[in-house]
A and B are shown apart, each in its own frame.
Chain A
Amino acid sequence: MKLELKSIDKSFGEKKVLSEVSLETDSGKAFGLLGRNGAGKTTTIRILMNVFPADGGEVLIDGKPIDYQQTSIGYLPEERGLYPKKPVLEQLVYFAALHGMGRREAVREIDRWLEKLGMSEYRNKRLDTLSKGNQQKIQLITALVHDPDIVILDEPFSGLDPVNAQMLKDVVREQIARDKIVLFSSHQMNYIEEFCNRIAILNQGKIVLQGELREIKHDYPRDRLVLRSEQPEALRAAFGEACQTMDDGALLLRLRAPEEKKAVMRRLAEDFELDEVRVFEPSLNDIFVEYAGDAGEEEQA
Chain B
Amino acid sequence: MKQFFTIFRFELGNYLKNKVFIGITLAVMLILAALLSYPRLSALLTSEGDEAADKQEQMLLLAGEEEQALLLPAFAAAFPGYELSAAQSEEEIREKVAGGEADCAFSFDGLRSFTYYVDNLSMTDEVAPTAQALLRQLYQAQVMLENGMTPAQVDEAMNAEIDFQVETLGKNQTLSFLYTYLMVMVLYMMIMLYGVMVCNSVASEKSSRAMELLVTSAKPTAMMFGKVLAACLAGLLQFGLMIGTAILAFRLNRDYLDESGILAAMFDIPTGVLVHMLVFIVLGFLLYAFLYGAIGSMAMRREDTNTTVMPLMFLLMFSLFTVIFSMTSGKMDGLLIKICSFVPFTAPMAMFARAAMSTVPVWELALSIALLLLAMVGAGILGAKIYRVGVLLYGTPPKLSAILKALKKA
Contact = CB atoms under 8 A, between A and B. Distances in A.
Interface of A: 13, 46, 49, 51-52, 73, 75, 77-84, 94-95, 97-100, 139, 142, 299, 301
Contact of A95 (B217, B392, B395, B406): B217
Nearest to B220: A51
Contact of A51 (B3, B209, B216): B216
13 contacts: A13-B406, A49-B216, A77-B209, A77-B213, A78-B212, A81-B211, A81-B212, A84-B208, A94-B6, A97-B6, A98-B3, A98-B217, A299-B395
Contacts of A51: 215-216, 392
B402 A142 contact: no
Contacts of A81: 208-213
Contact of A75 (B209, B213, B394, B405): B213
A83 B208 contact: yes
Contacts of A301: 394-395
B18 to A, nearest CB: 10
B149 interface: no
B201 to A, nearest CB: 10
B409 to A, nearest CB: 8
Given A52-B392, A75-B216, A81-B209, A98 B6 contact: yes
Given A49-B216, A51-B215, A98-B217, A83 B394 contact: no
A100 B2 CA distance: 8
Main secondary structure of the interface of A (DSSP, over half): loop
Q: Give the interface size bracket for B toward A.
A: 20 to 34
Interface of B: 2-3, 6-7, 10, 205, 208-218, 388, 392, 394-395, 402, 405-406
A83 B394 CA distance: 18
Contact of B209 (A80, A142, A299): A80
A54 to B, nearest CB: 13
B217 A13 contact: no
B405 A13 contact: yes
- Central interface residue in B6, B402, B405, by most chain A CB within 10 Å: B6
Question: Which of B211, B214, B216, B218 has most chain A Cβ within 10 Å?
Answer: B216
A3 to B, nearest CB: 16
A82 B214 CA distance: 9
Nearest 6 interchain pairs by C-beta: A81-B209, A77-B212, A98-B217, A97-B6, A79-B209, A81-B208
B19 to A, nearest CB: 12
